[in-house]
Amino acid sequence: MSETFYSYYDSPVGKLLLAGDESALTLISFPTGKAAKQPAPDWLRRNELFNSVKQQLSAYFVGELTEFDLALRPQGTSFQVQVWQALRQIPYAETRSYGDIAALVGKPEASRAVGAANGQNPLPIVIPCHRVIGSKGDLTGFGGGLACKKHLLALEQTHTPFSLQ
């Protein structure tokens, strides 16, 4: 069993907990909200292991990065992993409904199950669960809170070039 390492990143949406092993990122946790996590007692703080993650998050938050290139290892059921892979297909600054994601994973009647899987996403921002909204365009639950979700969506809209082509 590999060791788990962690660090923190001071972001515009709060101090994010980053965790993983020497080869992949496994967790990003917001400082507050229903899904907030703390380092386990046996985790080791290793700031240098997360330099690439922090650089990419910094570039994302200033609008210079639209797609992350990080080794990820989210842990979940096969359905959850399938949903999280689908979330990564949502383009920067766009949104999809839970129904859209359910159809994308081949289970068009599973909107609620998609919502549950979305809520268990261990790597928010990098796996962009904030880009999933209700069928009528309403913002729905988010582990970092709705204000955080609004912030992330607005950030992406602000840094999206407009073209008439």
Q: Determine if the pTM surpasses 0.85.
A: yes
Give dist(CA 12, CA 154) in Å, integer: 12
Residue with tokens 């380092």: 39
Is 129 among the residues known to form the active site? yes
Q: Which residue of the set 13, 129, 153, 155 is catalytic?
A: 129
pLDDT digits (tens, 9 = 90+) for 101-113: 999 999 999 999 9
Q: Does residue 7 contact residue 18 with C-beta atoms inside 8 Å? A: yes
Domain regions of the chain by residue span? 5-62, 78-159
> Identity (one letter) of the amino acid at 7?
S
Query: Could you tell me the two tokens for 141?
Result: 């639950």
Summary mean pLDDT of the chain? 91
Which CATH fold would you assign to the domain 78-159? Answer: Arc Repressor Mutant, subunit A (1.10.10)
How many CA atoms within 13 Å lie on the side-chain side of 147? 6
